[in-house]
Structure 1
Amino acid sequence: MAPVIELAQRRSTFRLAFVSAVVSLVAAFVASAVPIPLYNTYRAEDRFTNADLSLTVVAYDLPTLAALLLMGRLSNHVGRRLTSVASLGLLLLGCLLLLNVHDIGILLAGRVLMGLGAGLASSNVTAYIVDSAPDRPAWLASVASSQTPMLGLALGAIGSGALVQVGPWPRQFVYLVAAALLLLSALLIVISPETVTPTPGAWRSLRPSVRIPARVRPLLPVAAAVFLATWATGAFYQAFVPVLVQDQLHTHSPLVLGLVFAAYMAPSAVGAPLGGWFTPATAQRIGMAAFLAGLIGIITAIVTGSLALFIAATIVAGASQGIAISSATRGLLHGSTVTDRAPIFSVIYLICYSAAAFPSLISGQLSNVFSLPQIALGYGGLTLVATVFTVLAARNPDTDRPLEG
């Protein structure tokens, strides 16, 4: 009976770790989304421009990339819990800095801190989720690790929009709430069990490195196409939804702004489990085809000014990106070991945040020359190329190849 009791106890403690890691990743991306409903406030009261707001996406994404390159494997050596708490601490500092935003430099500095925290969380907290996830259902680990950020962004945008509109101290209270959530998450991590045995080599692990097991390396080009199209569109929403809501939908409501942003992010978490019904390759094809259809609807709605079509197409795009992203992640995680997971997630999020940062930087500069519908059309062209490539080249993991490489 002793082995059975020990197994039950281990599952119970790992269940706590799984819940704590999921809550922490949600909290990390809730904090990351909190400033977005305030962007129109900053535009109106502090005269921030569209190019300024596009620059905040870059200020967030580039530090995230740096954290992924330098610290993507750190938790293999110092433990998942320590790196998780450190990521939450960086996000907390970002929230505190943004309590008094009246200058674009302060907003950019706060987003830099949040980007560092999100980068550390993206590889290490997600690895903590996969380490501690239950064996059944089989798709749970990939869905929880890939879609928890989307859920956090949606909750952060909606909650922030509501608090900015009806809560006290509209420019400060949302950051205090996010800070409290981050502190609670850190406490949960502290009382949770560790899932890896710390090993020497922490300093050496800080050398920039990109590594993915040979077994799933052939899947990376298609996965990169999926991440590129979906995360670039997400950055488009972050940078341009404030002006879209104000100019195209004729409302200044922070809550409406948050709801529109969440309409893209939240359905992703709902659509992701649907990908578990198919093989990774089939699910990526279905997801990207539906995503392209949704983006065509979004562009049409922006051109015609149709709010109903815009919301409906946004929901379709959000749900279908969930199918595509979670399936791509499931393929890359196939057969992974504990020490593989943090590096794999580093590669995944390096691609994702690059896809968000660089198109946003380009489109932010082009916003001074081209109209919003024209910029949206450019994102549509990017998605068309990614979809065609996915349909033609998607493949399933090769179970006969070795894991190392």
Structure 2
Amino acid sequence: MAADHGTRSRPGYPAAAGVFAVGMAGATLPTPLYGLYQAEIGFSELMVTVVFAVYAVGVIAVLLTAGDWSDRVGRRPVLFCALGLSAVADLCFLFEGGLPLLFAGRLLSGFSVGLLSGTATAAVLELAPPHRAARAGFAATAANMGGLGCGPLLAGLLARYAPDPLRLPFVVHLALLAVAAVVVRLLPETVAARAGEPRPRHRHRPQGMAVPPEARAVFAPAALAAFAGFSLLGLFTAVVPSFLAQTLKADDLAVAGAVVFSLFLASTAGQSLTGRLGVRRSLPAGCLTLVAGLLLVGASLAAESLPLLLAGTLAGGLGQGLAFRAGLASVGDAAPAGHRGGTISAFFVAAYTGLTLPVMGVGALTLWLGLRNAGLVFTAAVTVLALCVGLLLPRGAREGAAGP
């Protein structure tokens, strides 16, 4: 809901989307730096995926226990909390002296993103006037994916061309978080504006996977599509930089950051196409495009080819973006206003489960099969899942929509 006449001079949904992007960038900032941490501390590829998975576990834990907090206490307090957690995570990396602070930093970053995902998405949607609803939907998903993409690009460029590569990226991000906090202070509070009265006090109870009846018909296909797409994101943010360095001998950190950035850039481009195709067509189209990207990534692993990897990156990102925005839009539209934050958080639980479990499987497989063969097994499994979603679930969703 747009702000009332007393808050018209305050920032609107583009500013909220900027805050969203800054917060999400912290989640992927360490991506191109894992090789440096491996050299400094000394740990295996499996430990890289475990460090990465700690972040995703933090996201899921917060989404399950506090995903609806912003529906209860307001968007701004939760946004402040998310930015604060991100700042403390940056401090953990700044003073890192071994695995304990790496784990702490990734866990706190996961807590931050868990609070931010549903809250910032809801805030962006609610700050937009009705005639800008479609643009706001794109702004929210683009801020999510764009922020995640800018993290590795920023860290890779600073690590390659500036001093102190393991600390400077986090100093820069802390400065960006300070600016984002000022913006949040100026944003109108949409929950209070929507209610038109003081928010009642609630005794907090963990929400679990809370999906209201109005949204259940569209939630399953959207969640499975998000699971498949985020599995690809997890592979790139946890493992692909190591594949570039170890297999393709492309150990330039700026290149690693740019490759991961291109995945999220392609995802953002896919999201921009969702409005033209429509939600119903975008879900299967996105899943099938994701399948094509996964096949190209698998071929790049088999042939040890950087051009094939780049082609798979762009196709996979495009498909993930199409399916992700379609799923988020359908879930957000179906959820009642009083449960929107919690329902969107449940959607992100499914997505971040896809980010966690398959990547940990890759890390475990590297101990027996090596990085290249583990990646091939991963791409084969996720390709089958995405193909099933693309071919079967849209029909189920249509049948559910046609039912009573």
TM-score when scaled to structure 2? 0.92
- Going from structure 1 to structure 2, the CA distance change for 1:368 and 1:383 (only over 3 Å counts) comes to same
Alignment of 1:161 with 2:156, yes or no, is yes
C-alpha contact (below 8 Å) 1:287/1:322 kept by paired residues: yes
Alignment of 1:183 with 2:182, yes or no, is no
Structure 1 unaligned runs (5+)? 1-5
TM-score when scaled to structure 1? 0.91
Question: Deviation at 1:55?
Answer: 0.6
Among 163, 170, 173, the residue aligned to 2:168: 173
More moved, 217-226 vs 187-196:
217-226
- Work out the CA distance in 2 between the residues paired with 1:160 and 1:389: 34
- Going from structure 1 to structure 2, the CA distance change for 1:7 and 1:339 (only over 3 Å counts) comes to closer
- Going from structure 1 to structure 2, the CA distance change for 1:339 and 1:8 (only over 3 Å counts) comes to closer
- Work out the CA distance in 2 between the residues paired with 1:211 and 1:45: 43
Q: How does 1:155-304 map to 2 (within 5 A)?
A: 155-197=150-192, 199-204=199-204, 206-304=205-303
C-alpha contact (below 8 Å) 1:279/1:396 kept by paired residues: no
C-alpha contact (below 8 Å) 1:162/1:255 kept by paired residues: yes
Letter in 2 for 1:294: G
- Work out the CA distance in 1 between the residues paired with 2:403 and 2:20: 32
Question: Deviation at 1:8?
Answer: 8.4
Letter in 2 for 1:136: H
Where does residue 59 of structure 1 map in the other structure?
54
Q: Alpha-carbon deviations, 1:248-288, whole Å to 9, x = none?
A: 22122111110111121111111112111223221111111
Identity %: 25
Where does residue 195 of structure 2 map in the other structure?
none
C-alpha contact (below 8 Å) 2:56/2:355 kept by paired residues: yes
Where does residue 3 of structure 1 map in the other structure?
none
Structure 2 unaligned runs (5+)? 193-197
Where does residue 333 of structure 1 map in the other structure?
332
Letter in 2 for 1:240: V
Q: Alpha-carbon deviations, 1:355-396, whole Å to 9, x = none?
A: 111222222112101233332233332232232233222135
Q: Alpha-carbon deviations, 1:192-238, whole Å to 9, x = none?
A: 1110125224432x423322232331222211221111111111112
SS of structure 1 residue aligned to 2:165 = coil
Alignment of 1:115 with 2:114, yes or no, is no
C-alpha contact (below 8 Å) 1:139/1:330 kept by paired residues: no
Letter in 1 for 2:54: A
Question: Deviation at 1:56?
Answer: 1.2
> Aligned Cα RMSD in Å?
2.2
- How many residues of Structure 1 are paired with residues of Structure 2 in the alignment? 395
SS of structure 2 residue aligned to 1:203 = coil
More moved, 177-186 vs 354-363:
354-363
C-alpha contact (below 8 Å) 1:18/1:129 kept by paired residues: yes
- Work out the CA distance in 2 between the residues paired with 1:19 and 1:13: 14
- Work out the CA distance in 1 between the residues paired with 2:26 and 2:277: 33
SS of structure 2 residue aligned to 1:367 = helix
Question: Deviation at 1:122?
Answer: 1.0
Q: Alpha-carbon deviations, 1:321-362, whole Å to 9, x = none?
A: 111110111111224443221011111111111111122222
- Going from structure 1 to structure 2, the CA distance change for 1:400 and 1:203 (only over 3 Å counts) comes to farther
C-alpha contact (below 8 Å) 1:84/1:124 kept by paired residues: yes
Where does residue 104 of structure 1 map in the other structure?
99
- Work out the CA distance in 1 between the residues paired with 2:98 and 2:272: 42
Alignment of 1:361 with 2:360, yes or no, is yes
Alignment of 1:30 with 2:29, yes or no, is no
C-alpha contact (below 8 Å) 2:71/2:339 kept by paired residues: no
- Work out the CA distance in 2 between the residues paired with 1:107 and 1:326: 31
Where does residue 89 of structure 1 map in the other structure?
84
C-alpha contact (below 8 Å) 1:42/1:102 kept by paired residues: no
SS of structure 2 residue aligned to 1:136 = helix
C-alpha contact (below 8 Å) 2:271/2:325 kept by paired residues: yes
- Work out the CA distance in 2 between the residues paired with 1:178 and 1:396: 44
Letter in 2 for 1:249: L
Question: Deviation at 1:62?
Answer: 0.9
